[in-house]
Structure 1
Amino acid sequence: MARNTSRRTVVDSPRANARTIRTVSLSAQLKKMVRHPMVIGVTVLVCVFIAGVYALVATPKYEASATVLVNPLSTNPSSSSHSNVSINTEASVASSREVAEAAAKSLSSSHDDLVSELRQSIEVSAHSGTSIFDVKATASSAQDAAEYANAIAQAYLAVRSDALQDSVNTVAAGIEKQIDALGKNGNDAARAALEERLAQVRITDTNAGRIITSAKVPQEPTNLGFIKCIFVGVISGLLLGAIIAWVLDSRARTVNYRDRAEDILGEEVFIIRDTQDIEDTRRAFRSIGVINGNFHKAHIAGAVLYSSVPRASDDFAATLRQAYADKGLTFVDSPASVLSQKKLSPSDTPNILVTDRGTELSEVLSAADVLGACVVVLTPETSVNDLEEFVNVAEHIADAHFLYVFLTS
């Protein structure tokens, strides 16, 4: 809506046009949040309290990491895959229960429960494109974290070496059977080839790899410290509080704030303060051309005072009487006395029609058309639905000034 500055004669109201093109702006959404500082403040305090308690009672977590280099292994020296290592496969092996059981045995004689703990505590991550993977252990004890990581790394190398040795033994046994099958009178060349192959298999290097970086005992837990927890609590509280404030404001049934009324109306709302109500009232009327109470100069014959809040119109009427005590304003409370005349002349004594909540909107708007102005009196208790209903009905009224005032008391 745009505030009237002169009597209009077209039905396509600028107020309607302004409401049509209103868009949702970031500043308008921020206003919804900052209108509820108490909600945001309380939410921040609650989140800070929760974060502080968590920082004090949370079990510390320590992380330690070992790095393993994996050697390529093969019982066939002529194999083209001799130098290739599938590091993702080896990382999966390091995460297996077999390795966890071997590591648990090296750490404790009573290792049944330790196997599950190790598997939950260990994370193995491969370095893509390399023959290296990391073993990261997390535990409530710094010493345990380092021991777990090193135990898994060592157990993996042992399991992998044992597996290769088993493969070497199996291949060697197969070759020996082939040699035995040739007998004493067998082909000497074939026997020599098999014996050479057996010798190569038996000298296969079963070194699975090595730990290139052993896990060290961590000095600090990975948990957020008390100060960091408090900081997270503040940030979380601000975000959560802003969301709650926005929801509360968006769903509020009453106007509550002057700027919220402006958001609904799309035009300026004049605040009438307790301590400066006379000056604020004169300033508001000056915006529609009524300077020093001269309604004739503004080309209007008076104004309708309307509010959906009981007694609000009467309260503002009392202030208006004081503001223009020497202007001879005539105050009436019956719409019929105004509607009986098709149009009042601005040269007549200004009439102020004071309506109450029970007055029909059609009568209010008809009287506004006759007098030339309508003053909508808002308070924090003004219903959002009532105000929006009034705007939707009034936006096509062409021949009246609309003035919105907000009473703080």
Structure 2
Amino acid sequence: MAVDTRKPSRTLALAALLVVAGCGAPDSPGASSGNTSGPVPAKPPKAITLNILDVAGNLQLTQGMIDDFAKRNSDQITRVTYSKATAPELVGKVKAQQNAGRVDIDLVLTGVDGLAAGVDQGLWLTVPDRAARLPGMNNYLPGAAAMQKLAGDAGVTVTYYPSGPLIEYLPAKVPNPPKTAEELLAYAKANPGAVQYARPSNSGPGRTFLMGLPYLLSDSDPKDPVNGWSKTWTYLSELNKYITLYPSATSETMKNLANGSAKIIVSTTGWDINPRVLGTVPKEAAVGTLQGFHWVTDAHYAVIPKGVPVDKQAAILNLLADMLTPQQQAKAYDKGYFYPGPAVKDVTLPMAPPESRQALTEFGRPEYEKLIAGNPLEVPLDAKALVAAFDRWDREIGGAKVKK
């Protein structure tokens, strides 16, 4: 399993913030190698090496797209190097290179967490010539389009899913799973250590649970963790009394569910399906929702650090344009890791590779289609709010119990 880190009215403010973050400073604090400003050519004048950093597990969905483009366009990309890190490490890595005047990371694949942290620090370029160069963005699914509004001009949505929060359990060990947030808390109190979720700043399910609770608890303003989450912070503080540790990655919660050290974990559609495909979690694991459930949607983004030369930007834009075609997006079904996965319209499962079709036929859940259609879709917090929520959770809730 790859490492996970994984209302429109408020996203407009974020979009403005992102434009300022992308435009209000020089492309790099120092003189990076290559021309970092000026018009981006249609193609690089000579083929480039593309260095990609993944902090969201996104390569599980998109590496096939990237490798295919590079193979077909050797006049633009001679070689692709891949590296991985966690979302909390991202800002330090990029900022150190920018401060040194040598940006060696050309493209970052990140979730909302890394996107927000980079926006907060002003690390990302405004995507150049987006409207003309990336026509696939006009074909986004409604949920993916809302996630793109959240990113403004600082990134490009490449994959999308409705996410969660879901609870996951083994029916043999939890025959009567909680149906409400209050019942989940009561279960945790009666079974100390049995409920588990990973640190939100490095976990898609953990982050989704954090942002989904205000809807479950009917808090005053689900989009404002500073002034509108009084019920949520009280609930998390109480739940914390009965949680013995917070894994630093989602994959650890899956292993703990399988070995019995956790009885109920927080999950999402993809983290439900993919670990069962891989055998990390027993096939018979079940999922459920809690009363008042709203989907908190999620996406992976491609972002370009300030300081990347325009010749490399040209190759990156052409790559992203190709990745947003339906034929390439069909690969995002993968084996359910980010289910469904495609960000654009008219990408059906029969278009996916045979191994994806086989995995989802066996391990997918028919009820997801009804759940997705029948419950509200909410975009995540904006950048500043998300950073504030992570910071408060680390300080006041679970930071001292995070398993390193």
Per chain length, whose mean CA-contact separation is higher, i.e. which structure has more relative contact order (CA < 8 Å, sep 6+)? 2
Q: TM-score, normalised by structure 2?
A: 0.21
Higher Cα radius of gyration: 1
Q: TM-score, normalised by structure 1?
A: 0.21
